[in-house]
Chains A and B, each alone.
Chain A
Amino acid sequence: MMAEIFKVAIVGSGPAGSSAAARAAKLGMSHILIERQDHISDTIFKYQKGKFVMATPDFLPLRSDLNFQAGKREEILDVWDNGLEDCKVNVKFDTEVTSIKKEKNFTITYADGKTCEAENVILSIGLQGNINKLPCEGAELPLVQYQLDDPEEYEAETIVIIGAGDAAIENAVALSKQNTVIIVNRRAEFARAKQGNLSLISEAIEKGNVEAYYEASPVKVEKDSITLKTADGEARVPCNRIIARLGASAPRRFVESCGVDFPDKEELKKDPKKRPDPRVLPEVSAQYESNVPGLFIIGALGGYPLIKQAMNQGYEVVEYIGGNKIPPADEPLLVEKFSVLNNQNVDDVLETIRKNIPIFEKLNTLLLREAILESNVHAFKKDDTIFKRNDYSNTFYTIYVGEVGILVDPNDPSQVVTLNQGNFFGEMGLISGRRRAATVKAISDCIVFETPRRTMLKLIQSVESVKDNLDKVSMLRQIQTHLTPGVDASDLQELIETAEIENFSAGDVIFNQGDEGDHMHLIRSGSCTVSVKVGGKDIVLSYVPSGNYIGEMALLSDQPRSATVKAAHNTQTIRLTGKAFKDVLKKNSSIKNSVEKKFKERINQNEKMEGQPEAGNIIQFLIEQGVGEGTDVLLIDETLCIHCDNCEKACAETHGGLSRLNREAGPSYASIHVPTSCRHCEHPHCMADCPPDAIHRAPDGEVFIDDSCIGCGNCERNCPYGVIQLAAPPPERFNLFSWLLFNKGPPPGDLRKSTDYKNKKKKDENQIKQAVKCDMCKDIEGGASCVRACPTGAAARVSPEEFMSITSLTS
Chain B
Amino acid sequence: MHESLLIYKKFKYLKLTLTTVILCIVLYLYHSPIGSPNGGTWLGYTLGTLAALIMFWLAWFGARKRSYNKSKGNLEEWASAHVYLGLALVVISTLHSGFQFGLNIHTILYFLMMIVIISGIIGVYFYLKFPSLITKNRNGLTTEMMLTQITEIDEDIRELSMSLDDFTVDLMTKAIEETVIGKSFIIKLKGVDPDCHTSLARKHLREKKFSGNNKIREQLLSKLTRKEKILDQLRNDLKMRSLLQIWLYIHVPFTFAALAALIIHIFSVFYYW
> Which residues of chain A have a CB within 8 Å of any CB of chain B?
207, 635, 637-644, 646, 649-650, 653-654, 664-665, 667-668, 671, 736, 748, 780-782, 785, 787-794, 796, 798, 802-803, 808
Contact = CB atoms under 8 A, between A and B. Distances in A.
A649 B68 contact: yes
Nearest to B241: A643
B132 A785 contact: no
B143 interface: yes
B143 A793 contact: no
Contacts of A664: 142-144
Contact of B2 (A736, A785, A794): A794
B69 A654 contact: yes
B244 A643 contact: yes
B72 A781 contact: yes
Interface in B128-155: 130-132, 134-135, 140, 142-144
Given A643-B241, A643-B244, A792-B79, A785 B131 contact: no
Given A789-B75, A794-B131, A653 B68 contact: yes
Interface residues of B, number: 31
Contacts of B71: 782
B76 interface: yes
A638 B135 contact: yes
Contact of A650 (B4, B68, B72, B131): B68
A639 B131 contact: yes
Contacts of A748: 66
B65 A646 contact: yes
A653 B66 CA distance: 9
B1 A640 contact: no
Contact of A782 (B5, B72, B131, B142): B72
A794 B74 CA distance: 12
B79 A665 contact: no
Contact of A793 (B4, B140, B244): B4
Interface in B76-91: 76, 78-79
B8 interface: yes
B200 to A, nearest CB: 27
A794 B130 CA distance: 13
B207 interface: no
User: Mostly helix, strand, loop or mixed at chain A's interface?
Assistant: loop
Contacts of B5: 791-793
B195 interface: no
B166 interface: no
16 contacts: A638-B134, A640-B2, A642-B131, A643-B131, A650-B68, A665-B142, A671-B135, A782-B72, A790-B75, A791-B65, A791-B76, A792-B4, A792-B79, A793-B2, A793-B8, A798-B1
B134 A643 contact: yes
B2 A796 contact: yes
B34 to A, nearest CB: 46
A654 B69 CA distance: 6
Contacts of B132: 638-639, 671
Nearest to B159: A207
B68 A785 contact: yes
Interface in B93-108: none
A793 B3 contact: yes
Contacts of B45: none
Contacts of B73: 782, 788
Given A653-B68, A665-B142, A789-B68, A640 B4 contact: yes
B127 A792 contact: yes
Interface string B1-45: 111110010000000000000000000000000000000000000
A642 B143 CA distance: 15
A650 B69 CA distance: 8
A640 B144 CA distance: 21
B57 to A, nearest CB: 16
B242 to A, nearest CB: 11
A701 B144 CA distance: 33
Interface string B110-137: 0000000000000000010011101100
A736 B241 CA distance: 26
Interface in B46-66: 65-66
B130 A642 contact: yes
B61 to A, nearest CB: 9
B76 A790 contact: yes
Given A207-B159, A668-B140, 12 more contacts: A635-B1, A638-B131, A643-B134, A664-B142, A665-B144, A671-B135, A780-B69, A788-B75, A791-B5, A792-B4, A792-B5, A792-B127
Contact of B79 (A781, A791, A808): A791
Nearest to B138: A668
Contacts of B75: 646, 788-791
Nearest to B76: A793
Contacts of B69: 653-654, 780
Contacts of A790: 74-76
A796 B2 CA distance: 6
Contacts of A798: 1
Nearest to B127: A642
